[in-house]
Amino acid sequence: DLNGTGPGAGNRPASDYLTGDGATGGHNERRRTYLRSVTQLLVSDLEEMVGNWKPNVEDNYRATLESEPATDGLRKMLFGMGSLSLGELAGERMKVSLEANSPEDEQDCFSDNTHNSHFYDAKGIRNVYLGEYTRVDGTQMTGASLSSLVAKADPAADAALKADLAATEAKIQVMVDHAGKGEHYDQLIAAGNDAGNQIVRDAIAALVKQTGSIETAAGKLGISDLNPDSADHEF
């Protein structure tokens, strides 16, 4: 993306991957090789992940996790939620790019799809807590949840975290809405775009608050000193 904080994403036409007539750009065979390689890597990584969670397989990740005390599994889930909320999403993915007004530090600097990356990161945290997932065909998968455990221990703590998760999603939805109108994340973080900067700050603040509620919920389940990874950011 050569547009800086102006409108427009990166531009790589399909003809840059052609050979022979109609090919543009140069180094096309190298590009084709790269595209095939990363596509196969994506497939193999997904296959590995499926294998890690397969039931009745000795020594895969699922078997290891199920052999540990339940509190260890709960801690891992809540630590992951808190670390993605705080250090990764609020810190590395938003705070860094906002403070530097730098589109090179946004998540998807070529495609200008950062708003969706942020939204679905936050959605993933919420899905894990609620034990639910909406498939691409619109059907919903539900199951046991952290929320139900926390609600049994302290209904108020569960309600507070669910409210914070919804609030975070709403704040990031504002980014998605602006992108739909042509103002993408790299424009929101531009120097002098006070309104755009505030949209990002509001999302960061919501994520920080959400992380505090995750720590509170963990405490209600007997998990103290959760200490989500802040990636050395101060909020």
Q: Are residues 200 and 224 in the same domain?
A: yes
List the structure tokens of 222.
């007997």
Domain that holds residue 157: 70-235
- Contact status, residue 89 vs residue 122, Cβ threshold 8 Å: yes
Q: Are residues 57 and 87 in the same domain?
A: no
Domain limit, last residue, from 32, 47, 67: 67
For 124-133, letters b (16+ CB in 10 Å) and e give: ebbbbbbeee
Q: Over pLDDT 90: what percentage of the chain?
A: 91
CB 188 within 8 A of CB 178: yes
Q: Which of 35, 52, 67 is the last residue of a domain?
A: 67
Same domain, residue pair 186 and 101: yes
Provide the number of structural domains found in the chain. Answer: 2
Identity of residue 170: A
- In a domain, residue 208? The reply is yes
CA distance 235 to 226: 17
pLDDT tens by residue, 5-46: 888 788 899 999 999 999 999 899 999 999 999 999 999 999
> What does the DSSP 8-state code read for residue 90?
I
| Residue 165 and residue 144 share a domain | yes
The last residue of one of the domains, among 30, 45, 67, is 67
Q: CA–CA separation, 30 vs 12, rounded Å?
A: 14
- Spatial distance between the Cα atoms of 106 and 200, rounded to a whole number of angstroms: 12
> Is 7 among the domain residues?
no
Whether residue 151 sits in one domain with residue 94:
yes
Q: 142 - beta bridge partners?
A: 132
Q: Return the amino acid letter for 10.
A: G
Residue 2, domain member (yes or no) = no
Q: Does 123 share its domain with 187?
A: yes
Q: Name the pLDDT band for 1 (thresholds 50, 70, 90).
A: confident
Cβ partners under 8 Å of residue 130, min gap 6 = 145, 146, 147, 162, 165
For residue 224, give both structure tokens. 């103290």
Task: Tell me the per-residue pLDDT of 133-182, one tens digit each, with 9 for 90 and over.
Answer: 999 999 999 999 999 999 999 999 999 999 999 999 999 999 999 999 99
Q: pTM of the prediction?
A: 0.91
Is 9 part of any domain? no
Q: How far apart are CA 86 and CA 67, in angstroms?
A: 29
Question: How many Å from the N-terminal Cα to the C-terminal Cα in the chain?
Answer: 30
pLDDT for position 111: 87
* 45 and 110 part of one domain: no
The DSSP H or E segment spanning 218 is helix 194-220
Q: Quick check: is 115 in a domain? A: yes
Q: By the 8 A CB rule, do 146 and 82 touch?
A: no
Residues 176 and 120 both lie in one domain: yes
